[in-house]
Chain A
């Protein structure tokens, strides 16, 4: 609507209506300083200000990570062990290994279970009572505070085996990963066109054959997106590892033998431990570890985004 047309329309309307007899046609032209327009303009300005203000923390976090973490970034960080109290130097190689091992073990537990149950939810009994109960419990698990996953793993693994260990941490992470895998995989499988499946049934396939040869391959990008999201989230989790995997200043693999049943370091717990220390060296390492952790999480998230984009 260009402003010049409105008064013309208004004039013609005013001419059509006989003067006097309730012909109060409000002005359709909007002056910029009219009360309503002014209010709208101010609110728009406020929305801009709020959106920019909400972006400030992200900019600040990224800036600090690059400046303080980047200053310390060096290859040695990936090869050396965490320093004790007054030691200088050091790195967090064992923490990276620990994070990868525990996230990997967590995925090994959660991905098969998650995909199997989403096969049931999407294909075998989508409208059954069991399915709605499973959906409900998956959604409830999504909201489970991560520390309670740690409490659960502490009760079921640490108290039973009598030691803090990588599998205990991995179980806690698996509990947090499962609901994401289940819910995203179900969504992905529901996207598979009905006619494709019907064509396979028409050729005499069993339901499992349809699932293995049609549903799973077609929905694979979507499933992987969910798995990647779960991995990214798990890699950054700290609370569930605090008292399941604890921390360690030694390598998980020594003399070529991986000993899982011992306290295990992780990047997240290292950041937490070092952030409270009164030593400048440890705090620098905490920033560097944060930078590495954020880069790992962002890398996995971006991969998941790229996979998601290829979806049919």
Chain B
């Protein structure tokens, strides 16, 4: 019985599991299963809870809530069209900027541009960008980004003010500073997921391209990006989902003004910022409409995130073939 001596129980012989062992096994397995079911129930409970609290608001304001543009607590008029517009517009701007830099960063980190030492520096930069809390970005945005872009914004308004994009002055908080900070916050998400997509492309594909005499960028643009396209698209969708739900940077930088605007410099509102700013002081009636707004935000982000997840699943499957 030397093997048992190795196991540290000299002289004893392993027996069959005792009745207690069987019982403990059953109990633990049931417990683990219960834990798993709890995760499932948690999602259902969140949907049910928000839906239930939103029901009075939905009953009273119906579909018009989504298309009305006034938010007047005193007179009981509530509408979230400006907030929906602001959410989509700011997230789209952030996606254009953050998505571009995120994908370029992913190419930069995966396509052998850097010696290993330097590569660690940039990798750490991206990870640190993700680690900084959004409220700190908000604070930074108020005191650095807004003053930094104000001269450029004033110049654009003075000279190109007839273009709707530049149709107002930047008085402080506004769409552009909010979207810039949002772009910085989604950059790590886009960069990380795109890097995974680019790494999944088999090495021999790149070698084949180089072997045909392509330059590095012909290989990247003609072979690597198209092959990883589905994954990169998924990364952008996930980044968009992240931008839609981001709250603090927007609540601090977007100016909380209910207006439908195309101008980059005018204040606006988003669903998440609306919730953050109005919930703490809301009466019961306002809570119901805020819950309705929360349900709308939940619906939008769920659709975008599930779509992103599905695209990633497809991307994983196509590359493995």
Contacts and interface: CB of A to CB of B under 8 A. Distances in A.
B120 interface: no
A294 B248 contact: no
Interface in B91-110: 100-101, 104-105, 107-108
A144 B301 contact: yes
Given A61-B137, A271-B139, A275-B139, A298 B131 contact: yes
A206 B29 CA distance: 11
B213 A28 contact: yes
Interface string A285-300: 0110010011001100
A147 B275 contact: yes
Interface residues of A, number: 95
A311 interface: no
Interface in A91-122: 112-117, 119-121
Which secondary structure dominates where chain B touches chain A? helix
A211 interface: yes
A151 B43 contact: no
A36 B222 CA distance: 13
A144 B139 CA distance: 23
B184 interface: yes
A312 interface: no
A17 interface: no
Interface stretch (A52-60, A218-226, A254-262): A52-60
B122 A155 contact: no
Among A57, A58, A112, find the residue whose CB has the most chain B CB atoms closer than 10 A: A57
Nearest to A141: B43
Contacts of B215: 30, 36-37, 39-40
B212 to A, nearest CB: 11
A268 B217 contact: no
B139 A141 contact: no
Contacts of A50: 100-101, 104-105, 108
Interface stretch (B13-21, B58-66, B226-234): B13-21
A206 B25 contact: yes
A232 B99 CA distance: 25
Nearest to A246: B280
A148 B17 contact: no
Contacts of B46: 144, 148-149, 152, 175
A51 B140 contact: no
Contact of B291 (A151, A204, A239): A151
A11 interface: no
Contacts of A294: 131-133, 136
Interface string B258-281: 000000000000001001100110
Interface in B6-34: 14-17, 21-22, 24-25, 28-29, 31-34
Give the 8 A-B residue pairs with the shortest CB-CB distance, closest first: A145-B245, A236-B133, A116-B35, A143-B305, A239-B247, A40-B215, A206-B25, A120-B36
Interface of A: 28, 30, 36-37, 39-40, 43-44, 46-48, 50-51, 53-55, 57-58, 60-62, 64-65, 112-117, 119-121, 123-125, 130-131, 133-134, 137-152, 154-156, 159, 175, 178-179, 182, 203-209, 211-212, 232, 235-239, 242-243, 246, 268, 271-272, 275-276, 283, 286-287, 290, 293-294, 297-298, 301
13 contacts: A36-B218, A40-B218, A57-B129, A64-B143, A65-B136, A120-B32, A124-B32, A134-B40, A138-B39, A143-B242, A148-B46, A208-B25, A275-B138
Interface of B: 14-17, 21-22, 24-25, 28-29, 31-40, 42-46, 49-50, 52-53, 100-101, 104-105, 107-108, 113, 122, 125-129, 131-140, 142-144, 184, 187, 213, 215-218, 238, 241-242, 244-248, 251-252, 272, 275-276, 279-280, 287, 290-291, 294, 297-298, 301-302, 304-306, 308-309
Given A61-B137, A147-B245, A272-B248, 13 more contacts: A61-B132, A64-B140, A114-B35, A140-B309, A143-B242, A143-B308, A148-B46, A208-B25, A209-B21, A275-B135, A275-B142, A301-B127, A301-B131
